[in-house]
Structure 1
Amino acid sequence: MGNYKLIALDMDGTLLTEDKLVSAENKAAIKAANAAGVTVMFATGRGIQNVTAYVEELQLAAPIVAVNGSEVWAAPGVLHSRKLLDTSLLKQMHAIALEYDTWYWAYAVDQIFNKEKWTDQVDAKQWLKFGYYYEDAAMMKEIRMKLEAWDALEITNSHPLNIELNPKGVNKASGIRQVCGLLGIEMSQVIAMGDSLNDESMIREAGLGVAMGNAQDEIKQLADVITATNDEHGVAKIIEQYVLS
């Protein structure tokens, strides 16, 4: 049994069910972990505006890693750090989306844009993350190769059919390292749970890296432990085994 002090949870495909709910089992396990003195936090690709309702539901006062690490919040409402995407890169990514006619989205500070709702004020915004979604594997490979050639971006996904892009070196692990600094703990004292490539960095670096039963195969291969699926309360099972027992 490790001396775990922090549990970092991805949200979609991990803590949340397919219906985007927190199960009663997961909720009870998180409450018990907090009562045992273990901090439970979100480490998510979502922007903070899509995290707050769940923070309130679970009554969490912990730090938050949002937008794949582009923002680290010391506590709800207390921003610790923010890493912005270069606007010129964002324009190039947007041009690629138009060229290939993919679905796309982007997180700016305080606002989300997508293919149906873009902005002509790109230079006036502060950008955090850009993403593509498409169902054509050949197109996915072409776009990814173009992006990799720039050597300027952190390239991950939150689903097998998307690509998520952050500033190079910015990922969930970089965010959690900052949180460890705030809490005075080591990465070896962290349990990190996730299902997709944007969870790879934290699963690799945490003391206990956990892949969900529904995780992408690449994540399962590198994890220390594989738990049940997000619909089978896999988060609760890990908390019960490694923190509460």
Structure 2
Amino acid sequence: MHIKLIALDMDGTTLNENHEVSTITKDAIEQAIAKNVEVIISTGRTGVELKPIFDKFTNIRYFICGNGSKIYDREKNINIYQNMLPFKESSSIMQQLIQYDVVPEVYANERIYTDQYYYDHIDDYIDPTLKSLILRSLTPVESIHDFLLQHKKPIEKINIFYKDSKSKNKIHSLCTNMPVTLTSSLDQNIEINSKTASKGNALQHLCQHLQIESTDVMAIGDAFNDISMLKYAGYSVAMGNAIPEVKEIAKFTTLTNIENGVAASIHEHILKN
């Protein structure tokens, strides 16, 4: 096997504890690209949140966004693949979420929308270390439910921040019989996508587009929403800070994101050969 493509998760993987790309990680990625390895980003984020990577890596062309809801080709400035959450499901979920004390976010139009009330009270729901990152990405609206009804189009996903396991269980029960996929990337969030949207399915589509076999793919991640792409890749790498479920299915484990685990894995599997 010869690695031809690297799929990198962002948060908890490529980005360090300050949500930045370290110089060591950047250099390793650049060296891999110089060896004609296709490096792609595979993230739960959407367009408005990708600026740190866009600015750091002008030579990364493909971005799997919204947990596989789309693949963006930066060179052509188009989405070459979409797997969106239908309006019927998103509006039904949003209507029922009104009864719960949670923060719902709608990913649409390359932006993230939430209620003005939750925007003003975000401290009650999220880790303080994430506050500035989340607030600068959000667009507050008077009513997220009304916004969705007016939008009337498929969306990338719904992200929900909750306070406790009781709320989490209620949301899971709510979605049990719906044609949707549930995953997460943080300790207190649930991400709702279309039934067939996942990082793994999007990665498979991109590899078919690029005519690259799964055995020639290395994927690196740390959270639940990375599991599908790790299962697809011939070289699956769990970050040292990954959740146990990721480490259990990955073939390799590298250092943490604080210790530049992505760089260590690239050096181990690509640059030293």
Match of 2:187, SS state, is coil
State whether structure 2 residue 199 is matched by structure 1 residue 172: yes
Identify the residue that residue 160 of structure 2 maps to in structure 1: 132
Inter-CA distance 226–96: structure 2 relative to 1 (3 Å threshold): farther
Other-structure match for 1:101: 101
Q: CA deviation at 1:85?
A: 1.3
Q: TM-score, normalization: structure 1?
A: 0.94
Instruction: Name the counterpart of 1:66.
Output: 65
Q: Give the equivalent residue in structure 2 for 1:112.
A: 112
Alpha-carbon shift at residue 236 of structure 1 (Å) = 0.2
Q: How much does 1:162 deviate?
A: 0.9
- SS of residue matched to 2:99: helix
C-alpha separation in 2, matches of 1:145 and 1:204: 26
Q: Check the 8 A contact 1:74/1:182 in 2, yes or no.
A: no
CA RMSD after TM alignment: 1.5
The amino acid that maps onto 1:149 is N
From 143, 151, 160, give the equivalent of 2:171: 143
Residues of 1 paired with 2:150 and 2:207: CA distance? Answer: 33
Deviations 1:26-57 (CA, angstroms, capped at 9, x unpaired) = 00000000001101110000002211441231
Cα deviation, residue 124, structure 1: 4.0
Alpha-carbon distance in 1 for matches of 2:71, 2:51: 14
Secondary structure of 2:156's aligned partner: strand
Alpha-carbon distance in 2 for matches of 1:190, 1:142: 37
For the residues of structure 2 that align with 1:102 and 1:115, how far apart are their CA atoms?
A: 11
CA distance in 2 between partners of 1:81 and 1:31 (Å) = 26
Structure 2 residue aligned with 1:23:
22
Which segments of 5 or more consecutive residues in structure 1 lack a partner in the other structure? none
Mean Cα deviation higher: 87-96 or 210-219: 87-96
- Aligned partner of 2:148 in structure 1 is 122
Letter in 2 for 1:87: F
**Hey, what's the Cα distance between the residues in 2 that align with 1:134 and 1:48?**
24
Instruction: Report the secondary structure of 2:163's partner residue.
Output: coil
Q: Deviations over 1:159-189 (max 9, x none)?
A: 1211101101110011111211221111111
AA matched with 2:39:
V
Q: Deviations over 1:44-80 (max 9, x none)?
A: 0000221144123122232110111111123352220
Q: Which runs of 4+ in 1 moved over 4 A?
A: none
The 1:188–1:205 alpha-carbon spacing in structure 2 relative to 1, beyond 3 Å, is same
Q: Deviations over 1:200-224 (max 9, x none)?
A: 1001110111111111111111111
- Gaps of at least 5 residues in structure 2 are 117-139
